[in-house]
Amino acid sequence: MMGRGQGSMLAGLLLLLCACTAPAAANLNMSALCLTVPDGMFVSSQMDCSSYYHCQGATASLMSCSNGQYFNKDTQTCVASSQSTCASKSHPCLGKTVGSFQPDSSSCGGYWYCGDSGAIYGSCPTGENFNPTTMACVYAYQYACSQSVVDSSSGASPGVEVALNLCSLIENGFYFGSASDCSGWNYCQDNVLHSGTCQNGLVFNVNGKSCGYRSPSSCAQVTNDPSLTGAVAPTTCTTSGTMKNATACNQYYLCTGSSYTLMTCGSGLYFDTVSQTCVARMQARNDCDRCLGSTKSFVNAYSSSGCNQYLYCVNGAQKAVETCPDNYYFNEDAGSCVYETEPAFKCCNPDGLSGQPATTAAKTTTTATTTTTTATTKTPA
Ligand SMILES: *[C@@H]1O[C@H](CO)[C@@H](O)[C@H](O)[C@H]1NC(C)=O
Ligand SMILES: *[C@@H]1O[C@H](CO)[C@@H](O)[C@H](O)[C@H]1NC(C)=O
């Protein structure tokens, strides 16, 4: 997808400093998930490869593999970590080969690259999903990872976000229930989710793994838990003129009458959530996806720890979070880390506080003003 090995030693240094933070993901409600699978089944944990859950009704009991083993959802057993397909959120590359890719179980397009210096988070370009079987970014129709995938930039459903890839947690090859529809069923094949509906008024029986007549205990799996159905923000509004931030920085929702309409800022402008207006990019206080819609390779990260962090973008998709050396701050307009005593860019410093206390040692030794080079981050084929 992109060239490799263009990086200099300096870029290698930047990668060493990589903060490697993944986008926040909704915590999965394991009780609600367990209700959709048969009693006695084991499901993976999103947080840690060596732990997993035993499901019995709405009771999810946390279990642990011993001896450094990882849980394998498809064999329903603990196996050597190298044989496991699990990607742990806290240590995604633990036990994995350097140079391999691991899926992010909480995002359809997210993945981890396991480099020499640890895990580096990346995202497939907009409209593509990460296929954990082939370890590649593919078009969403080729790998429909979740039933709740909605492209929020289309404006169809404000606030709807990708919840998770159910098939990274649930065993392949059997039918399980839907948290939002009593007649709905799901099925994972090669980690790809297939969904359907029982016909002729039948409902899905979770323990029978089949469609059947409704009984008094039917439909317990329908919890509409937002962590499973894809959290839905209200699509209706009451006060005309009210604004709400969108996924893309240059867009926002405007309440017109009783519903939100997706609006786009003028060229080069981003939506500022504080002043509720479109402003110059570097001044926009908006925790949005700053790579989305941008043609730049490097953009400021929004206030994770001041202006020293920045994002590496390829084709408008975030590939990595990187960090400037001490006393350097990222300046999106310059496209590089620059020496600055107190960066005033609101996009990465919304509280107006200095990003990092300066250290005198670094001050006396540093004279260069730009340090950013081409990135060495690798991407899936
Ligand atoms: C998780 O789901 C269960 C079953 O629907 C529900 O009773 C419980 O309140 C949920 N927990 C949270 C924290 O939402
Ligand atoms: C913007 O929207 C998202 C999702 O609704 C939210 O998490 C974020 O905190 C919002 N606010 C700002 C200041 O970006």
Give percent of the chain with pLDDT exceeding 70.
Answer: 70
Three-state SS for 263-321 is EECCCCEEEECCCCEEEEHHHCCCCCECCCCCCCCEEECCCCCCCCEEEEEECCEEEEE
Chain segment 81-136, per-residue pLDDT in tens: 777 766 555 667 766 667 778 787 677 888 887 776 667 778 888 778 888 777 77
The more confident residue out of 12 and 91 is 91
How far does the centroid of ligand 1 lie from the alpha carbon of residue 224, in Å? Answer: 10
CA distances from 90 to 47, 95, 112 (A): 6, 13, 11
Convert the pLDDT of each residue in 203-260 to its tens digit: 999 999 999 998 887 899 998 776 776 433 446 778 888 888 876 787 788 887 777 7
Q: Residue 286: what pLDDT?
A: 92
Tell me how far the alpha carbon of residue 43 lies from the centroid of ligand 1, in angstroms. Answer: 17
273 lines ligand 2 (CB under 6 A): yes
Minimum mean pLDDT among 23-32, 91-100, 147-156, 248-257: which range? Answer: 147-156
Rounded distance between C-alpha atoms, residue 329 and residue 310, angstroms = 9
Q: Is the CB of 286 under 6 A from ligand 2?
A: yes
The whole-number pLDDT of residue 276 equals 93
Q: How much distance in Å is there from the Cα of 93 to the middle of ligand 2?
A: 29
Mean pLDDT to the nearest integer, 18-26: 33
Report the C-alpha gap between 375 and 6 in whole angstroms: 7
Residue 162 has pLDDT above 50, yes or no: no
Q: How do residues 278-333 score in pLDDT, each as one tens digit?
A: 999 999 999 887 876 677 889 999 877 788 889 888 766 677 888 898 888 999 98
- Average model confidence (pLDDT) across the chain: 73
